[in-house]
Amino acid sequence: MHMAGSAMHYLEKELKELISRDERIFTFLESVFFDGLWYRDLQHPDQEWVNDRFWHELGFDRSDPSIEQRQSYVHPDDLPHESAALQAHIENPNKPFDIVVRYIHKDQSIVWFHCRGMTITSLNQSAPRMLVAFQNISPLKRAEQQLLIEKERYEVAINGASVGIWDWEDVTTDRVFWNKQFYNLLGYQEHEFKSDFSAFESRLHPDDKARTLDAVEKHLKDKEPYDIEYRLKTKSGEYRWFHAVGNALRDELGIPYRMAGSIEDVHEKQLAKQESLKLLSQLTESNKDLEQFAYAASHDLQEPLRIISSYIGLIKRKHVQALNEEAKEFFAIVEDGCGRMKSLILDLLSYSRIKRSGEIFEVVNVGRLIEKLVDGFKSENPGTNINVEIEGDTEIEAIKSYMDRLLSNLLSNAVKYQDPDRPLEIKISARSENQFVIISIKDNGIGIEREYFKRIFEVFQRLHTITEYPGTGIGLAICKRIVEIHEGSISVDSIFGQGSTFIVRIPQFVQREG
Ligand code: ADP
């Protein structure tokens, strides 16, 4: 581009004269409201005049010496397009010169110019001229590019989403947009069925239709959250469960005009949930049956056992002379069996009686309870080495008699299963941690093999014969039941031959039923 000197360029002078004479040019300039103006002698293309504003738009001052240094201010990629358009217009002036060209700003950024031009016959008639008006459309272009990026991002997100997306663009019409995944979730290809609300409605399971439409209505009208599970018919004709959420856009008066959201396939989850609910109710039923059975059996078994025992006693008293030694021995065995059976029945009965309902929860100080228990124990068994450590606030809400039972069962086991080869040592501790009270009862007894850690808490499970260690195998089952009633847990850790530690965790505050 050729720069004019400090004096007025002849072309500038000429244009100004032209403008004052030819009203058409003036109107043209006015109508396009240019950001730059460019006037060129078509017979001498190196001769052109450019207004100050044009240079400003590109970050230059007219007097900036660097203006002359650049070959071209047009972006190199746009040069061919610009000269072709210019040529086409010169050859055919009826075809408007109207293009968007990128220019390079002084700071190397891009300036988009919308260039519109016309050929003009100069004042001396013979010399053709070209007048081009520039409009800086960079802000517009940048906004457009940003919009494009955002649109792309939105499309990538929508199409890549694992959930189906629905957009009811105008809630007064039937039309709905569904993304590809929405169709795919129902087993269809994109756009395989009509995208309108009635198509959705017709796919709803008959049992879910009324409450789904009601939920939409309630969301639009009363702003109730739209968060629902329903079944939709898929292409194969099968119904699947979906979880849908959505939200309405509202105008300043609160009137909804658009509603959009997503659906997610929760079929397997829903089936699993239904299955576990079914199992839970079956389990509760069978637990109740079992409790009733245990109670009835232990209660009803007592009577015949009483008869057997008393008749054996009678035989022994009245007919002992008639019995030979062997018969006496047999009778002793039967008597012993009766005694054991009685203990088993009584234990089972007491186990089946441990219930949460009807019992009173009160504040129980576990630390104090332990100390009391140990004091009582020590006075009955002087010389027993029991160490007690209580730390922090060990108050809990509990059924007191059950807590007493739990602790005495564990303590008496620690004593019962002591190792005959070393003096007994018991350590009992209680401390609070994260709203739980943790009780630990540690002994240096015979220990338990790892494989039995779980089994010993089951009813009638014992690891020894009656002659080795007496018992019925119900004590720990009772302990387990008691901690479960208190929403706690019990476990054992042990090294066989060295000792065992029973650990009980009970929440300080029990959640009450109902
Ligand atoms: P019981 O003591 O009547 O057999 P429990 O239910 O109290 O019934 O215990 C079940 C089994 O767990 C016991 O037979 C014993 O083998 C084992 N056990 C319980 N406590 C201890 C302990 N402190 N040390 C070693 N073994 C134990």
434: DSSP letter:
T
Ligand 1, atom 13: nearest CA belongs to which residue? Answer: 462
Pocket around ligand 1 at a 6 A CB cut-off: 413-414, 417, 443, 445-448, 456, 462-464, 471-477, 500
Q: Which single residue is written with the structure tokens 């007919």?
A: 319
Ligand 1, atom 23: nearest CA belongs to which residue? Answer: 414
| Mutational test site, ligand 1, from 407, 411, 426, 448, max ligand atoms within 8 Å of CB | 448
277: DSSP letter:
H
Q: In this structure, are strands 489-495 and 436-443 parallel, antiparallel, or unpaired? A: unpaired
Q: Tokens for 339, please give them.
A: 């005694």
Which atom, in ligand 1's list, is nearest to the CA of 457? Answer: 6
pLDDT at site 111: 95
Q: Measure 294 CA to ligand 1 centroid, in angstroms.
A: 22
Q: Measure 473 CA to ligand 1 centroid, in angstroms.
A: 7
Q: What is the pLDDT of residues 289-303, one digit of tens each?
A: 777 777 777 778 888
For the range 109-116, what are the long-range contacts, defined as Cβ-Cβ under 8 Å and sequence gap of 24 or more? Answer: 110/75, 110/138, 111/57, 111/58, 111/136, 111/138, 112/136, 112/137, 112/138, 112/140, 112/141, 113/35, 113/36, 113/57, 113/137, 115/82, 116/32
513: pLDDT strictly greater than 60: no
Which atom, in ligand 1's list, is nearest to the CA of 476? Answer: 6
Q: Measure 289 CA to ligand 1 centroid, in angstroms.
A: 27
Which atom, in ligand 1's list, is nearest to the CA of 461? Answer: 10
pLDDT at site 4: 46
pLDDT at site 30: 58
Q: Which helix (H) or strand (E) holds 404?
A: helix 400-416
Residues 6+ apart with CB under 8 A from 490: 457, 476, 479, 480, 483, 502, 503, 504, 505
Query: Is-contact 119 40, C-beta < 8 A?
Result: no
Q: How far apart are CA 422 and CA 410, in angstroms?
A: 20
Q: What angle do CA 199, 221, 224 make, to 5 degrees?
A: 90
pLDDT at site 33: 61
403: pLDDT strictly greater than 60: yes
| Mutational test site, ligand 1, from 410, 456, 494, max ligand atoms within 8 Å of CB | 456
Which atom, in ligand 1's list, is nearest to the CA of 502? Answer: 23
Which atom, in ligand 1's list, is nearest to the CA of 441? Answer: 23
Q: What is the pLDDT of residues 191-242, one digit of tens each?
A: 898 889 999 999 999 999 999 999 999 999 999 999 999 999 999 999 999 9
Which atom, in ligand 1's list, is nearest to the CA of 447? Answer: 25
The residue-averaged pLDDT of 467-494 equals 91
Ligand 1, atom 1: nearest CA belongs to which residue? Answer: 473
Q: What is the pLDDT of residues 68-85, one digit of tens each?
A: 776 778 999 999 999 899
Q: Measure 447 CA to ligand 1 centroid, in angstroms.
A: 9
Question: Residue 300 carries which side chain, given as an amino acid letter?
Answer: D
Helix, coil or strand: residue 362: strand
Q: Which single residue is written with the structure tokens 């055919």?
A: 92
| Mutational test site, ligand 1, from 350, 417, 425, max ligand atoms within 8 Å of CB | 417
Query: Is-contact 411 428, C-beta < 8 A?
Result: yes
| Mutational test site, ligand 1, from 413, 463, 474, max ligand atoms within 8 Å of CB | 413
pLDDT at site 236: 96
Question: Residue 108 carries which side chain, given as an amino acid letter?
Answer: Q
Q: What is the pLDDT of residues 79-137, one digit of tens each?
A: 999 989 988 998 888 888 999 999 999 999 999 999 999 888 767 767 788 888 898 99
Query: Is-contact 181 164, C-beta < 8 A?
Result: yes
Residues found in the chain: 514
Residue 355's φ and ψ, nearest 5 degrees, are -135, 155
Question: 125 versus 257: which is more confidently predicted?
Answer: 257
Residue 248's φ and ψ, nearest 5 degrees, are -100, 145
Q: How far apart are CA 287 and CA 266, in angstroms?
A: 31
pLDDT at site 129: 86
Q: Measure 472 CA to ligand 1 centroid, in angstroms.
A: 9
Query: Is-contact 463 475, C-beta < 8 A?
Result: no
pLDDT at site 90: 86
Q: Tokens for 366, please give them.
A: 């576990």
Q: Which single residue is written with the structure tokens 């659906």?
A: 263
The residue-averaged pLDDT of 421-435 equals 94
The residue-averaged pLDDT of 406-411 equals 96
Average pLDDT over all residues of the chain: 88
| Mutational test site, ligand 1, from 462, 478, 498, max ligand atoms within 8 Å of CB | 462
